Amino acid sequence: MDPIITVGHLSRSFRSYKKEPGVLGSLRSLYHRDFFDVHAVKDISFTINPGEAIGFIGPNGAGKTTTLKMLSGLLYPSAGQVSVLGYEPFQRKPEYLKKYALIMGQKSQLWWDLPPLEGFILNKEIYQVSDTSFNANIRYLADLLDVTSVLKIPVRKLSLGQRMKCELIAALIHNPQILFLDEPTIGLDVVVQKKIRAFLKTHNQEKKTTIILTSHNMDDVQEICKRIIIINHGSLIYDGPLADLTKQYAKNKVLKLIFNQPVTKTKLKKYGAITHFEVGGLSATISVPRVKHTTIAGDILRDFSVDDLDIAETSLEDIIREIFETSLQPKP
């Protein structure tokens, strides 16, 4: 299977400058500016196959959104090559623009004072979608996202969750082959987040739409994506299956314990790092080395009266946080 997206040694830098505060600083900046380069993306390479759902992960300022903008043609690379569906995105050819959609959680493409349906009709004309295809897509998407009843209500009257669902419909009317998602669930309540995740997973499976998702919400990534790409300070750190990330970076497992009788922290410390301890000593959570977790669990069961024991993997959020806080700090 040939890749649908190919990125080779991609880089993007921005020119910026520093200004001293106050009026004097403003006057000085008129004649002299202290310029410096910001390296948002630095020499990253990867390929993506048709139908994949990719989690694109990194802390704030890592270069995620910059990369998506280069893939969608909104930014021109400083160096490297990008090929998406056989096109160079920054050339912004009409044929290419009809084959992808970009959704940014903090920006809207719908008209604030008009009903979503009128925005959909506008996109229909822009992308030259036939009446038959348009009506079928609206019925399918509105039903799947449960927003049929709000399509004729002005956007400003809708809740944030309803607006985000309508944004998804607007982006998918023309059946794009690739869907770029930048923080699509930001600010949404847990119920709406779950519905949007379920929708995106279903759409990916049924329509074979390639999805590239950036999100700080690890639940988004775990439920939608099987593969993740991690970048930090503009550089690619990990590219592979989500399941392998746990094996490669999670050195510990988590023991969640409920005791029949109160215990003390002092007695539990010898088994591992206590990450949670309930006042009263009836429950605790201990992080233990992965290679010894069964032995340690057996020792605890032997030494204490345990009502319940749950052995769990370290959460993806904790793994990612540890990666960013330790080995992936910028080099001096």
DSSP state letter for 314:
P
Task: Evaluate the CA torsion angle 205, 207, 213, 218 in order and state its sign.
Answer: negative
Residue 253 DSSP code:
E
* pLDDT tens sequence for the chain (332 residues): 789 999 999 999 998 878 788 888 788 877 888 888 888 999 999 999 999 999 999 888 888 999 999 999 999 999 999 999 999 999 999 999 999 999 987 778 899 899 999 999 999 999 999 999 999 999 999 998 889 999 999 999 999 889 999 999 999 999 999 999 998 888 888 888 898 999 999 999 988 999 999 988 888 998 999 999 999 888 898 899 988 887 777 788 899 999 999 999 989 999 999 989 988 889 999 999 988 999 999 999 999 999 999 998 888 888 887 777 764 454 44
Neighbours of 56 (CB within 10 A): 25
Q: Which residue ranges does the chain devote to CATH 3.30.70?
A: 251-313
pLDDT of residue 330: 44
pLDDT in tens, 291-323: 899 999 999 999 999 999 999 888 888 888 777
Contacts of 98 (CB under 8 A, 6+ apart): 127, 128, 174, 176
CATH 3.30.70 fits 251-313, yes or no: yes
Does the CA dihedral 208-227-11-16 come out positive or negative?
Answer: positive
Pairing outcome for strands 283-289 and 273-277: antiparallel
Residues 177/182/184/187 CA torsion (nearest 10 deg): -170
CATH code 3.40.50.300 region(s) in the chain: 5-247
Going 209 to 210 to 216 to 222, the CA torsion angle's sign is: positive
Q: Show the tokens assigned to 104.
A: 């940014």
| Residues 18, 36: Cα–Cα separation, whole Å | 8
Give the C-alpha separation, 195 to 151, whole Å.
Answer: 18
Whole-structure pTM value: 0.81
- Distances, alpha carbon 229 to alpha carbons 168, 263, 272, 284, in Å: 23, 42, 31, 34
d(C-alpha 98, C-alpha 326), whole Å? 42
What strands, in cross-sheet order, belong to the sheet with 5-18? Answer: 34-48, 5-18, 79-84
Longest dimension (CA), the chain: 76
Class of domain 5-247: alpha beta
Spatial separation of the C-alpha atoms in residues 286 and 290, rounded to whole Å:
12
Helical H segments across the chain, by residue range: 22-31, 64-71, 94-97, 116-126, 131-145, 160-172, 190-207, 218-224, 242-249, 265-268, 293-303, 316-325
Question: Reduced to 3 DSSP states, what percent helix, strand and coil does the chain have, rounded to the nearest 5?
Answer: 40, 30, 30
In contact, 232 and 42? CB cutoff 8 Å: no
What is the rounded distance in angstroms from the CA atom of residue 80 to the CA atom of residue 10?
4
Of 274, 304, 267, 305, the C-alpha closest to 288 is 274
Structure confidence by residue, pLDDT tens digits, 175-232: 999 999 998 888 888 888 898 999 999 999 988 999 999 988 888 998 999 999 999 8
